[in-house]
Amino acid sequence: MRPELDHFDAAEREIAEKLVPLLEQRGASLYRTGIQGRREARVGWPSTRDDGARNWVFLIKGKGDALELTLWVGAESGLIGVGRPLKPQKGDQPKPRDCGSIVLQSTRFPGYLQKWVATAYAHAEQALTASD
């Protein structure tokens, strides 16, 4: 069991344990958000900034017996919005229009999830390279 997930409920942790290996690619790793009282973790890279912030690509939030997975896929992906597979995400970083989420209720993931993961990595790498 990963210590980064020890604050998740049992059902959430079971889903997350299977999901995280799919998300940890291209040198990205799982880490706790450090926000007290929240059942969430992120997958991303250490930042090159001096403040120690990290660049995240995926956010995992506990939802009782399910997980909400937020993917930083970019607005141009065509995946986010009404009639599209990902629900627009609220928040301010990364920009809400760049993120979308889906609720995963079991360890049987949709077949297209791997494509979304690849889309998120491509977007993140392009966006982070442009900001350097």
Q: How far apart are CA 40 and CA 37, in angstroms?
A: 9
d(CA 1, CA 18): 11
| DSSP H or E run through 45 | strand 40-46
Summarised one tens digit per residue, pLDDT across range 37-83 is 889 999 988 776 666 566 888 999 999 999 999 998 888 888 888 88
Specify the pTM.
Answer: 0.86
Cα–Cα dist 1/22, whole Å? 16
Does residue 113 sit in helix, strand or coil? helix
Distance between start and end Cα atoms, the chain: 35
Domains of the chain: 3-131 (3.90.1150)
**Any idea which residue has 């141009």 for tokens?**
76
